[in-house]
Chain A
Amino acid sequence: MKLLEYEAKEMFVNHGIPVPDGVIITEAEEMALHLHKLGPEVVLKAQVDVGGRGKAGGILMAKSEEAIETAKQLFDATIKGVPVEKILVEERLPIEHEYYLSITIDRASKQYLILFAETGGVDIEQTASLRPDAVRKAVINPLLADVPPFLLRRLIGKAPKEIAPVINRLYHVVCEKDALLAEINPLVTTPGGVFAADAKLIIDDNALARQGIHVNRDQTEREREAERHGFSYVELAGSIGVIGNGAGLTMATLDLIEHYQGNAANFLDVGGGAGRERVTHAVRLVAGMPDVQVIVVNLLGGITRCDEVAEGIVEAGISQKVIVRLAGTNEEAGRKILREHGYMMLDTMEEAVRAAVEAVR
């Protein structure tokens, strides 16, 4: 789950990473109380989960006396369609230089990857292609509690030494908060020291419970409902509902729909042990999406009981057409149940997908 900038900065501060003085406001007038603490110029940053926020008008500069008016403008705006509910108001720092710092997980080495660049404030990919010598990388064994000093020296090179403790503290944030990505872009030097001018933190969805996070904000309401039933669910824009067991098979079903020039409405992986009740829930959930005209159910597994799945589909009692591909035990019994209730059961996923694409034409 992605954290908003101000939430990430709170965690940074708790781990000793300096951030600019700032306050979070939910309406423009609140700022009057705080402005005297923030100096003659302030930066107003919309707290929205949107990439390219600055270019989209989500970050505004203002002189102290104009700040309330600017905040009103920002609250009235939408940033790439997202309404602004909170604004982080910060002092404007006298920036000397901007750097880039991030820690991610590296699939290839199975360790944490630290990236430091001498140029910040821009996309790291851009720096990497224009000035590859300015980007330095180090992987760190996840069993280590600290980043070893030799790696810190290698990462910062000729950049100011006061950056080294920030790298180590960011590593502490990553470990303690179960982050999959921590990014400071830019990390800035000023006459008053080093500051994290921006902050990005993505928490591992599989660690939300132990991090005390009970609602995953990245999900829609229907996605959360699906998760409560143990499904993986993603909403798409088409008209063919898709239910499969296993992420790979369900993705392959979506791809086949595209292959035959159809459009999937969703991705729903019922997971292991597709029993009667789970199938009923899944079918009803997908049928509840307004654009779904037909549903493909593609279930394969040695231990999936086809008769139970068939009963689950019938039980759902939905109005849309359901096309079923089932392979497992008791296939014949399942086929009989489906046939008796007027549902189509086909032998291969390709036949099922083609029938579904045909049905919405």
Chain B
Amino acid sequence: MIFGSKDDGIIVQGATGTQGAFHLNLMNEYARTVGGKGVVAGVTPGKGGQEVHGVPIYDSAREALDAHDATTCVLFVPGKAAGDSIMEEAEAGIELVVAITEHIPVQDTMKAIAYARSFDCCVVGPNSPGILSPGEIKLGIMPAQLFSRGNVGVISRSGTLTYEVVDELTRAGIGQSTVVGIGGDPIIGETFVDVLRRFEEDPLTDAVVLIGEVGGNLEEEGAASTDLPIVAYIAGKSAPPEKRMGHAGAIVEGGEGDAASKIKRIEALGVPVASKPSEIPSLVRDLL
């Protein structure tokens, strides 16, 4: 549990939208099964006084935090307003913002992350499926039924591909300590390096699966930054250059960030790279 525990109260910003309300409910169901605090308040400007699945809604993050104890915010606000919402939560005193929102302009993300940092607020995402520490806390939209508790951490730029890998791990009897979706955008708050540093200090994590994709070179930087045993998988070996593969950040640009060069650099560090997702469990088992 590197991003909080069952004792952390959660605020959902954008709780009155379809997605926000649906996942607020699932997060609270999860909190009930593990005896956690769960979502204590929602924030939607102009909708203060309403309730969503029994959770009170406030007009601002400040009002929500005046009335409730919370450390963490999960954000479902639409792209054009999300940068502002991240800054609002940071300024109000939230320590961790998990931004599920996709399609935030990059400039807004950069400004929000820089602003949040000045309040010691950490941002995961945007374009993240969230974070799940099995048996402890679920922040975001990951399908909890695929997860099992264990000693392997997972860091990924993807959503469903993460579920695929977690499902493979669980079926192979390998449980997870914390699974972190760092987001598919080019600019994200916590990168592989940042999350690996947290895993290094986490007594519950003995090995980490790093799921990357084309675009940038943060996978290589991450793999080079840690002494933890890691297994990597890189998606997008067949991605053509200069094309965005679904994620805003998944693009081979100016001959950089392609899968083959990433895999080569990671393997050069002595880190095993799976050639397909189904190979990951056996490579992890070799490390444990």
Contact = CB atoms under 8 A, between A and B. Distances in A.
Given A247-B247, A300-B164, A142 B143 contact: no
A244 B247 CA distance: 13
Contacts of A244: 160
Interface stretch (B33-41, B42-50, B110-118): B110-118
Nearest to B115: A143
Most buried by B among A142, A207, A247: A247
Interface of B is mostly: loop
B114 A142 contact: yes
A6 interface: no
Nearest to A208: B105
A267 B246 contact: yes
Interface in A163-217: 175, 178, 180, 204-207, 209-210
B14 to A, nearest CB: 14
Nearest to B103: A206
Contact of B160 (A206, A236, A267, A301): A301
Contacts of B157: 248
A254 B238 contact: yes
B235 to A, nearest CB: 4
A209 to B, nearest CB: 8
Contact of B248 (A205, A234, A250): A205
A258 interface: yes
Interface of A is mostly: mixed
B191 interface: yes
B104 interface: yes
Nearest to B234: A255
Interface string B275-287: 1111000000000
Interface stretch (A108-116, A147-155, A281-289, A334-342): A108-116
Nearest to B113: A110
A300 B276 contact: no
B213 A204 contact: no
A210 B191 CA distance: 28
Contacts of B146: 302
Contact of B184 (A105, A107, A234, A248): A248
Given A248-B158, A249-B161, A252-B235, A105 B114 contact: no
A142 B111 CA distance: 6
Nearest to A179: B107
B245 A247 contact: yes
B161 A248 contact: yes
Interface in A229-248: 232, 234, 236, 244-248
Contacts of B211: 248
Interface string A243-274: 01111111110111111000010010100100
Contacts of A269: 246
Contacts of B272: none
Contacts, number: 160
B103 A254 contact: no
B243 interface: yes
Contacts of A256: 276
Most buried by A among B142, B145, B164, B243: B164
Given A105-B187, A249-B160, A258-B238, A302 B145 contact: yes
B107 A142 contact: yes
B159 interface: yes
Contacts of A250: 245-246
A112 B247 CA distance: 20
A314 interface: no
A350 interface: yes
B163 interface: yes
Given A205-B248, A210-B105, A234-B245, A300 B163 contact: yes
Interface string B144-164: 111000000000111111111
B110 A105 contact: yes
A110 B235 contact: no
Most buried by B among A236, A249, A300: A249
Contacts of A302: 142-146, 163
A303 interface: yes
B186 interface: yes
B105 A252 contact: no
B107 A178 contact: yes
A127 B85 CA distance: 42
Given A112-B110, A205-B248, A301 B186 contact: no
A297 interface: no
Interface string B186-202: 11110100000000000
B240 interface: yes
A205 B110 contact: no
A320 interface: no
Contact of A349 (B107, B164, B247): B164
Given A302-B144, A302-B145, A252 B245 contact: no
Contacts of B254: 125
Cβ-closest 6 pairs across A and B? A302-B143, A248-B158, A247-B246, A246-B160, A248-B161, A232-B246
10 contacts: A108-B218, A110-B187, A125-B254, A178-B106, A180-B186, A207-B107, A234-B243, A249-B164, A252-B276, A267-B246
Given A110-B114, A248-B156, A301-B143, 18 more contacts: A110-B188, A110-B189, A111-B110, A142-B110, A143-B114, A204-B105, A232-B246, A247-B213, A247-B247, A248-B158, A249-B164, A251-B213, A252-B276, A259-B276, A267-B245, A269-B246, A302-B142, A302-B143
